Amino acid sequence: MKKIIKFKFSILFFLILISFIIRLVAVLLYGDTRIDHEWGVLLHNLYNHNTYAFYKFEDKLLPSSYMPPLYPFTLLFLKIISFNKINILNLIFSFHILLSIISIYIFYKINEQFFSSKISIINSFIFSFFPLNIYGVTQTSSITFQIFLALLFLRYFFLITNDSSNKNVIIFSVICGLSLLIRGEFILILIPTLIYKLIFKKITILNLVKICLISCIIISPYLVRNYINFEKIHIVNVKGYALWKGNNSSLKVEGFENLDKFEDIKSKLENIPYDNFYETKRDNIFFKAAMKNILGEPDVYLLLYIKKIFSFYFFDINSSYKNYYHFIHIIPIALISILSLPGLVIFSRSKDFHQRYLIIYLVVYILIFSLFFILPRYKLAILPIQIILSTFSINYLLNKITLKIKKIIN
């Protein structure tokens, strides 16, 4: 028994070591050379002006809730501890690598819920070496942080029971709170999760109250800040823009946002007064435009929605992203997506509490995010579940083949 444990520890140590080396090499070769897009702007304003702002007009910074706050404030923390002597990008990538490696171990523990240690380790190798998972670490994006929290969420979902210790309940609650602060839409995952637990009597009312209360306490400072600035309670103020980006006349799965081709919207945006409600009014313009598109041609946008679901679960057949169809990227994605299909059917017919939950989690996640637009990195959010489903598919097929061979022999 001790030899088995020692061997398992050795394999896991090797996995973590090789995962670290691969990610370090990937960062050195492909790592971003600057903090891209909105993250760089938010960090600059946080660090230099002590304000969470994105838009600036005539030297006036407007309070923002354009992006969820957890990742920008994490960047701020890393910037502060760099003391302007350590390259901030080096700290960011080190943080990403650390989270990614911990995520691999968490994924291993989740697999043990369904498989033997041997198969769990194999799946963890697949997850670790998956090209998209490695590439995600090299980007100044919140995706690695999101996957880390998502896996922690699933891990502690399995641990929370009616007789769970306060420690597990508190940890799960903190994870929920942080997940809300890194992705506002997580509330649409959390609510059905807690309802599912409650329906099947896998959580006590007291623990449910604790989870809701602690999660609210964690996000409350940001909610209060937003209410003071915008006179409404919310985490992000970008739903209208995200809906329009994924539902405009371009009809692209990955979305389209070049406003030069939408003069009517551009004109309305230029007439918004530059005050605290700029983002709210801006988002409302996009929301109305998106709803006009959807309600005006429901059949067109329903078909687009189906395409987005397909692209999310499988891959985008019309992607404009550079190197998207490179065999190193597209072949693993296509294989894991196709292999997971039989597992999806197996889980949907299962009466196992945890298997059914993974299907609920997967379906809800895909349906929600496909309402907006699907970027290539979003695939990472469902990759862990697809790997688990693929393993069930392979096991099912091998069992069928074994039975047929036995019948032939007999």
11: which 2 tokens? 């394999």
Residue whose entry in the numeric block shows the structure tokens 């309940």: 169
Report DSSP state, residue 140: S
For residues 404 and 187, the model is more confident at 187
Res 100: pLDDT: 98
Burial 154-186 (b: 16+ CB within 10 A, else e): bbbbbbbeeebeeeebebbbbbbbbbbbbbbbb
Q: What predicted TM-score, i.e. pTM, was given to this entire model?
A: 0.95
d(CA 66, CA 58): 19
d(CA 248, CA 245): 6
Report DSSP state, residue 261: G
Domain ranges of the chain: 1-142, 315-358+375-410
Contact 121, 15 (CB under 8 A): yes
The answer to whether the Cα torsion of 34, 38, 43, 45 is positive or negative is positive
Across 235-390, the runs of DSSP E, i.e. the strands, are: none
Least confident span in 86-100, 152-166, 259-273: 152-166
Res 401: pLDDT: 86
- Residue 261 pLDDT > 80: yes
Q: What mean pLDDT is predicted for residues 94-104?
A: 98
Res 4: pLDDT: 67
Q: What mean pLDDT is predicted for residues 97-103?
A: 98
For residues 101 and 351, the model is more confident at 101
Inter-axis angle of helices 88-111 and 70-82, nearest 10: 130
d(CA 301, CA 295): 9
Between β-strands 53-57 and 60-63, what pairing exists: parallel, antiparallel or unpaired? antiparallel
3-state secondary structure of 277: coil
Backbone angles phi, psi at 58, to 5 degrees: 50, 50
Q: What mean pLDDT is predicted for residues 232-244?
A: 93
Res 192: pLDDT: 94
Report DSSP state, residue 62: E
Query: What are the CA-CA distances from residue 317 to residues 12, 132, 272, 324, 372 (Å)?
Result: 36, 17, 38, 10, 17
Query: Which pLDDT tens digit goes with each residue over 377-403?
Result: 999 999 999 999 999 999 988 888 888
Contact 354, 196 (CB under 8 A): no
Number of other residues whose CB lies within 10 A of the CB of residue 387 = 21
140: which 2 tokens? 């100044």
Query: Which pLDDT tens digit goes with each residue over 309-350?
Result: 999 999 999 999 989 999 999 999 999 999 999 999 888 888
Report DSSP state, residue 378: G
Residue whose entry in the numeric block shows the structure tokens 């490695």: 134
Q: Tell which residue, 371, 116, 336, 393, has the closest CA to residue 240.
A: 371
d(CA 238, CA 252): 19
Res 30: pLDDT: 94
Query: Which pLDDT tens digit goes with each residue over 36-59?
Result: 779 999 999 999 999 999 999 888
Q: What mean pLDDT is predicted for residues 239-244?
A: 95
Query: Which pLDDT tens digit goes with each residue over 171-199?
Result: 999 999 999 999 999 999 999 999 999 99
31: which 2 tokens? 């790592």
